[in-house]
Amino acid sequence: MPTLDETLAQMQPDDTADAVDFDNYQDAAEFPPPVPRGEYTMIQEKPDFDVRDKVHLIVTVHHKISGGDYDGRRIMYDRLSTKTFDRDGTRASTAADHIRALGFTEHPRGAREWGEALLRGEGKPWKGILDWEASCLDCIKEFQAVSADNTLTKEQRKKCTITGERNFPANMATGGRMSKVPCPNCQREIEARNRIVRRIPA
């Protein structure tokens, strides 16, 4: 292993044009500000699987925006489930929304078929609507701690969550919206993330 002096002797003279701007230095953010609300084409990445109630498949997957001003930006921790719910009198699920957005026409039955369909989505494009959401994890934990079944009511979630880009205060410096705001319940700082609010059938 060469010493520092031996390594430096092999290098060209320092290029001061490539100097770090310490006077105006910007530290890396944990997460970049969310992209503006709108319709985006995204590429699905490889899903991870879990199970809930020994019955419903739970899927966590990341996506990458494809094209436009935010090409390559990752949308993290999208949660899908095969658990059904009522939508205008029919049974639907977030997993079904997703495979329809991918353009798949099959009708999966059972956890294996759902899992295999979602695995086939890796690397494939789909379209969805992204918006903003910020939740206070501290308040959520406090509400869960006093809950009999470790869940939140809709009213409790509303107390510590801001949903929709339009509900974040204006940022006069940028002309956009401020992504870091006080929690409506405890006033601790919370930060907006992108949330998929609709998947568009292909």
Domain ranges within the chain, ordered by starting residue: 38-200
The residue behind tokens 């509303």 is 158
Beta-bridge partner residues of 181: 190
pLDDT at 152: 84
Higher-pLDDT residue of 11 and 153 is 153
Share of the chain above pLDDT 90, in %: 70
How far apart are alpha carbons 19 and 21 in whole angstroms?
Answer: 6
- pLDDT tens for 53-112 read 788 899 999 999 999 999 999 999 999 999 999 999 999 999 999 999 999 999 999 899
pTM greater than 0.75: yes
The Cα–Cα gap between 127 and 66 comes to: 10
